[in-house]
Every structure is written in C-alpha cells, then in structure tokens.
Structure 1
Amino acid sequence: MSDEKGEGGEEATGSGHDALGEQQRAVLRRAIRLEWITLGWMSATVALVALVAGQSQAMRAAWAEDVLSLLPPIAFLVASRRIRKRPDRHHPYGHHRSIGVAHLVAAIALITMGGYLSIDSVIGLVEVERPPIGLTVIAGQAIWAGWLMVAVMVVTSIGPVILGYKKLKLSEQLHDKVLFADADMSKADWSTAVATIAGVLGIGLGLWWADAVAALVVAVSILRDGVKNLRGSIAGLTDVEARTYDDAEPHPLTLEIEQRAAETPWVRDVAARVRDEGHVFHAEVFVVPHPGSAPTTEDFAELRDRVDELDWKVHDIVIAPVDELPGMQTFRSTLRT
C-alpha cells in the first residue's frame, strides 16, 4: 500500500515540490530568494577580493573559498528546480534525490580546492615565500595596500554571516541538507576573514610566515567542510537510516512511525524502514497481524493515512503485511539505542 494522496486530498504527482505543504512551500520560496541574494553578494565579493588580493596567499585562499561558496547556492537552486519534475518510468520515486546529488557535487568541489590550497600553503612555508604588499594611490593619497585588503575582508564577511543564520533556520524547516551545508559554511565565514586579516597584518609587521599560515588555516577550513559534507552526502545516497537535517542523530520519525503502527489493534509487531529522499521520506512499514485477524485493504489504507498524518516529510508510504520480521530485529534495536 503506497501513499498517493497529495495536499488537500488531491492525487500526488510524486515530486518533491508537490510533497511540500503550503507552509513548506513558503519556506522554500524564502530559501530560494536568500540563495539568489547569496549569489549576488558572493559574486561581488569574488570581484572585490580579486581586485585587492595581490600576491598574498591568504587573500588568494580567501578568494578561492569565496568562489567555492557559489557552489552550494547554485546546487540548491538547480536541485529545487529538478525536484519539480514528475516521476517517470526511469525515475519511479521522482527526483527527490537531486538534493543528495547536489550535496555530493558541492562536497567534492570543496575537498578538491581545500586539498590544493593546503598543499600550496605548505609549499609557501617550505620555500619561505615572502609576498610583497606595496602601496596604492587613492584620491591622490598613497596608502598601504594591506589596509584595502583588511577593509574588503571586513565588509564582505558581514553578508554571509547574516545570510547563514537566516538559512540555518530554513534548512531545519525544509529538512534540506544542501541548504544546511551552505548555511553552516556562510555563518562561519567570519573565521576565514579573521585568518586572512591576521595574515595580511602579519606581512605588515614583517612576519613573512603569517600569510602562508593564514592561507593554510583557510584551506583546512575548506577541507574540513568538504569532508563533513562528503560523509553526509554519501551516507544519504547509500540509504543509511534517515537522520536529522544536520546529520546529528537518527531522525525520530522512524520510531514515531513504528509507535503509530503499533497502536493499531490488529498489529502484533511492526518495524519501519525509512529512507531519506531529500526533503521527504520514503517509509516501508512491515506489520505482523495478530493470529486470526484478517485486516482488509481498508484497514491498510487507514493505517497508511494515520502514518501519513505524523509529519509532512512522510510522503511515500508502503504498508507491507508479513508473517514475521526476518532480519529486522537488529535494525530495530539499533534505532532504539
């Protein structure tokens, strides 16, 4: 028995967009607006940082991170459009997994660039590179170019931090791991700015190694974000147990589904297998009827509807009657630890 009921009782198309309730659609629209704002802000940031970067390794690393910061918003916007497509013969579950694919692409890009910048920074330390920061003329006044770098880093770091905290709240409401990864990177952007500013000021104080060390700090930050997101994206695409939007713990809906099914009078035993499809969950509920009971198709439909009422994320539900739960006991005990 699968859930084919959409919003307001209408037939569902199976797309992630149609699986969202009106409240979640409003949240998605806000998230899309924030991502477009992020793209605009980060594009301007990339141009400004490139303009003043000079020979500073820290500034070049910060520029690379800013370029990479464009990937999660782009991935989110592409995935948000992709999930609107209707299921077809080749994609019977719809296109919910576009969210997971977008997450994976962003993670690989982060790891690649983080690894490259880490190696480049270490080489700079080993070869004792001394990046020059000269003077620049503004309105007829000659000033140290490092002050321009510091000013650009301070100004450009404000937007991502604010946008990051706004997107963080929306990612929880949407159960969107790409949006969460983007928000997590954005709200921590101040640390990149601080490291870069420290590196530039270190050059001004004659500490040649400060620039390369700051670049290494930024590179390690990028690499850490990449590894964290790669781990989460692969886990989602390989059908691990459904977890919360931040991957902090198993999602409580799995146990709630089992508890809801166990309340049914004709159900003797139950185990649920829940798969995270992106914004929504696909749930297989295995039920063992009491001996002598003869549940009808209406009973199964009623149970399906009761499970469906738990949460908007429970979108695609299969009720499977079985004689026993072979191999499921270990799975269930794991969920309860």
Structure 2
Amino acid sequence: MKPRFGRVELPERQAEALRRAIRFEWFTIAFLAVAITMVYLVMGSSQAMKAAWIEDLLSLAPPFAFLLAVRLVNKKPTPKYPYGYHRSVGVAHLVAGVALFTMGAFLIYDSASGLITAEHPPIGSVVLFGQTIWLGWLMMGAMALTIPLPIYFGRVKMQLAKELHDKVLFADADMNKADWMTAAGSIVGVGGIGLGLWWADSAAALFIAASIVMDGFKNMKAAITDLMDTRATTFDGDEPHPVTAKIDEYLRSLPWTLEVGSRVRDQGHVFHVESFIVPRHGMEPSIAQLVEARDACIEQDWKVQDIVLVPIDVLPEEVGGPDSSRQSERNR
C-alpha cells in the first residue's frame, strides 16, 4: 500500500452519509430563512420572541460552518499543510461555539435587565382579514410551526454525526434541539403575558439564553481541546475513542512486540496516530513487518489513515511507559 498522509477520499458508506448531511444542512438553512422571517414579522416587543429570533439567526452558524469545512477537508495535503486540511472542521466547530456563547451571554444580560427593571412588554392587536386578533396568538402560532422540523433534523444529524465522526454536525444537531426548546419556551413566555404574568416573558427569554450559553460553552470547550491535541474522543466528546485500544490490542498480538502504546489526536474526520512499539529482544522488526502492521492498523477503522509506527527502547510515559501512573499501579 502506498503511504498517504491524510484521507482524501471517504469510504462509500461515509461518502453517502456526507452527501446526505450536506443536503440536510441546505434544508436547514432554507427552513431557518423562513422561520427567521416569520418570527421577525410577529415578535413585537416580547423579550422571549426576540431571544428566539436571535437564536434562530445563530442557528445558521453551524450549517454554514459545516458546509465551508466540507469544501476544505478533502483537499490533498501539501508541503505547507502536511497534515491536510482536516483541522478546518475543528476551526468551524470553534467559530460556532464562540458565536453561541457570546450571543447567549448578551441575551442573559438583556433578559435579566428586563426582570430587574420590571419591564412590562406590551402585546397589542392586529387586524387580519377584517378581524382584530391578539398578536400573542400569532406569536405562539409562529413558534409552534418551528418545532417539528428541528426535532426531525436534530435526530437525523445526530445519526450522521456519529457515522462521520463530525463534531460540527453534532453541534448543529445540538443546536436543533435548542431551537425547538426555544420555541416551546417562547410560547410559554407569551402565554404568560396573556395571563397577566408580566415576568413570564423575561423569564422565558432568560431560560432560552441560558440554554444557548450552555450549548456554546460545551461546543467551545470541545473545539478548543481538540485543537490542543487532547486524546481522541467519540463524536460527542464523552468517552475516549475506542480506536486507540483497537490499535494497541492488534499491535500487542504481533509476535515481535513486547510493549505498545499509542497516542491519537483528532484531526477532524480522521485521526493522526503515533504508535510506539518496544520490540522483543532479538526480534527487531523489518521494514516489511512494519509496513504490514501499518496497513493492518489502517484496516481497523476508516478514520485511521495518517499513522506512524515508531520502534523504541522504552515507552514514553504519556502512552503507558514505566513512569506512568498505570505502570506504577501495576508495580504496587
């Protein structure tokens, strides 16, 4: 197998998932364009509706970030970018997270100010088809229409994010969840005003803003740690990715290896793997054996494409060497 650095082509299953994800992102942008316009036309002076409208605007960030990253990730590595362009996924993830966190923090300040100053947002009436209608009904109706599709989009994108190991797509799925929760919160806030609870609107806006901040912080933290080369995790960032254990288990099974430890960093859709191998005494591997082992490691998972095997006398501490805490526990 001819060595390559950075995957330039996805396997057919993942390629089809990526094409489907691109279609859903364009569907999302089209839906948001309609929803943003509709909410703007009916939001009036409601803090909850204003927060929902801004949240819908922010929801455009992850789809655009994903579509931009997709255009870059499959470019071939160059002497200037020897690791390829996979980090564009992480950069897009960071941009989306910062946008969410910043705007959420602003909305918390804005909503809390309304509660502290006891603002009473007026909701008037409009004449529609010759009938006088309370604007709150139109607000709640508009928000109710924006609930079903984000639920559907979020579920589909979550599945695709897992298939592609795409954290921007995961952030977007998370954002879709925030979208429908925001819509439900807005309905509660506007309904509260209709019942004479002046504080319900600002309280609903504060709830929406807190949700945005939490989403922003979680995604910003995940993006920053990935860009700082933390160990590779699952697409949702909850657990260490199992590919590290799979590679180590395979390499330990080879007759000429004594100790093995790998460090794996997330490049975006693919991983960069460095596997350190202590050979058995008198059984130093040949080039052919190393090439065979490398190719077998690549076959362990489609995300493993950029991998190096390093024969070494002692494992580094960071991957389980003699000074590591794991080794210390074994020695007790």
Q: Note whether the superposition's TM-score is higher than 0.5.
A: yes
Q: Quick one: distance in 1 between partners of 2:95 and 2:226?
A: 13
Give me the whole-angstrom Cα distance separating, in 2, the residues matched to 1:121 and 1:154: 22
Distance 2:74 2:14 in 1: 14
Structure 2 counterpart of 1:75: 65
Q: CA shift at 1:231, angstroms? A: 1.0
Displacement of 1:221: 0.4
Aligned residue in 2 for 1:132: 122
* Residue number among 65, 75, 86 corresponding to 1:85 in the alignment: 75
Question: Is the alpha carbon distance of 1:332 and 1:16 closer, same or farther for their aligned partners in structure 2, counting shifts above 3 Å?
Answer: farther
Query: Equivalent residue for 2:284?
Result: 294
SS at match of 1:161: helix
**Counterpart contact for 1:164–1:186, Cα < 8 Å:** yes
Between the aligned residues of both structures, percent identity stands at 51
- RMSD over aligned CA atoms reads 1.6
Verify the 8 A CA contact 1:271 1:332 in the aligned structure 2: no
The answer as to 2:320 corresponding to 1:329 is yes
Q: Is the 8 A contact 2:69 2:89 kept in 1?
A: yes
Give yes or no for the alignment of 1:260 onto 2:250: yes
- Going from structure 1 to structure 2, the CA distance change for 1:28 and 1:146 (only over 3 Å counts) comes to same
Change (3 A) 1:108 1:173: same
2:29 corresponds to: 39
Corresponding residue pairs, total: 325
Give the letter for the 1:50 counterpart.
Answer: Y
Residue 84 of structure 1, CA deviation: 2.2
Q: Is the CA contact (8 Å cut-off) linking 2:87 and 2:267 kept in structure 1?
A: yes
| Cα distance, 1:141 vs structure 2 | 0.7
Tell me by how many angstroms 1:17 deviates.
Answer: 4.5
CA distance in 2, matches of 1:36, 1:110: 20
TM-score by length of 1: 0.93
Q: Which residue of 2 aligns with 1:178?
A: 168
Q: Residues of 2 paired with 1:63 and 1:332: CA distance?
A: 50
Separation (CA, whole Å) in 1 of partners of 2:306 and 2:189: 52
Gaps of 5+ in 1: 6-11
Q: Is the 8 A contact 2:6 2:305 kept in 1?
A: no
1:22 counterpart = 2:1? no
* CA-CA distance at 1:15 after TM superposition: 5.1
Are 1:52 and 2:36 an aligned pair?
Answer: no
Q: 1:24 offset after TM fit, Å? A: 0.5
* Cα 1:317–1:4 shift into 2, 3 Å: farther
Partner of 1:187: 177
Match in the other structure for 2:274: 284
Amino acid paired to 1:58: A
2:43–2:50 CA contact under 8 A, matched in 1: yes
1:144 aligned residue (126, 130, 134): 134
Aligned-partner Cα distance in 2 for 1:131–1:305: 65
- Tell me how far 1:326 sits from its aligned partner: 3.1
Distance in 2 between residues matched to 1:129 and 1:16, nearest whole Å: 56
1:17, 1:224 → 2: CA distance?
A: 34
**Aligned AA (2:80):** H
Q: Is the 8 A contact 2:108 2:206 kept in 1?
A: yes
Whichever residue aligns with residue 320 of structure 2, its letter is Q
Gaps of 5+ in 2: none
In 1, the alpha carbon distance for the partners of 2:141 and 2:156 equals: 24
Q: How does 1:119-268 map to 2 (within 5 A)?
A: 119-268=109-258
